[in-house]
Structure 1
Amino acid sequence: MNENQALGAFAAISNQTRLRIVRMLVVAGADGRAAGAIAEALEGAPPSRISFHLSQLEQAGLVESRREGRSIIYSAIFPALSDLVAFLMRDCCEGHCAVCDKAIALFAKCTGRPAHSVD
């Protein structure tokens, strides 16, 4: 991830509603959540407003959508989120931190699906 991509991603999640949506989708994992369920979870947010926020997150490359029947399901793009975290951590300790390096490697493996073991 380059600096401009990071700036776009950070701009997208710098809004309280969008940050809540991303966190909600991270919890949902690869299965995601329907747009209507996201709106309900945000208690009273108008669907048109939620659509706007989801669109902003999609344009930033942090979430993706797919149609299932009459529903639109949104999912976090875990590689993009891990790249964003890695962007922040990459230069930790002048780029020589074994703990951060291991964390970055683990983030890169995340698919949003539970794993029985992680190397």
Structure 2
Amino acid sequence: MTQDDALATLAALAHPTRLDAFRLLVRHEPDGLPTGALVAASGLTQSTFSTHLAVLAKAGLVVARKSGRQQVQRADLDRLRALMTFLARDCCEGRAELCDPLLADLACC
């Protein structure tokens, strides 16, 4: 992941509606959720929510697939992993002892 990719991904998540939607999709992996369920969970109109969904999709965080007559949205966990790896490597500068507390926090939950 490049710095520009990381910035675009972080910018997409830097809105409460988009972050909530992405977190909800992560919790529903690997099946994903129909777009209508995401809209309902957001409390927004479909047109307003679709704008947020488009931002997440453009950043590579959400992928849609057709299932019958519905669009099912899924979180792209590879993109999330790439962002987290980029941040950890960049911030820790290859020094594992700096990232150990982070890894310990992740392992406990």
Q: TM-score, normalised by structure 1?
A: 0.78
Secondary structure class of the residue paired with 1:95? coil
Tell me if 1:63 matches 2:62: yes
* Greater displacement, 11-20 / 86-95: 86-95
* 1:116 match: none
**Structure 1 unaligned regions, length at least 5:** 104-119
Corresponding residue of 1:32? 32
Alignment of 1:1-119 (within 5 A): 1-43=1-43, 45-97=44-96, 100=99, 103=103
- Relative distance call for 1:91 and 1:100 in structure 2 (3 A) is same
Q: Which runs of 5+ in 2 are unaligned?
A: 104-109
SS at 1:29 equivalent = coil
- AA aligned to 2:45 is P
Percent identical: 41
- Does the 8 A contact of 2:35 with 2:73 survive in 1? yes
Structure-2-length-normalised TM-score: 0.85
> What number of residue pairs does the alignment pair up?
103
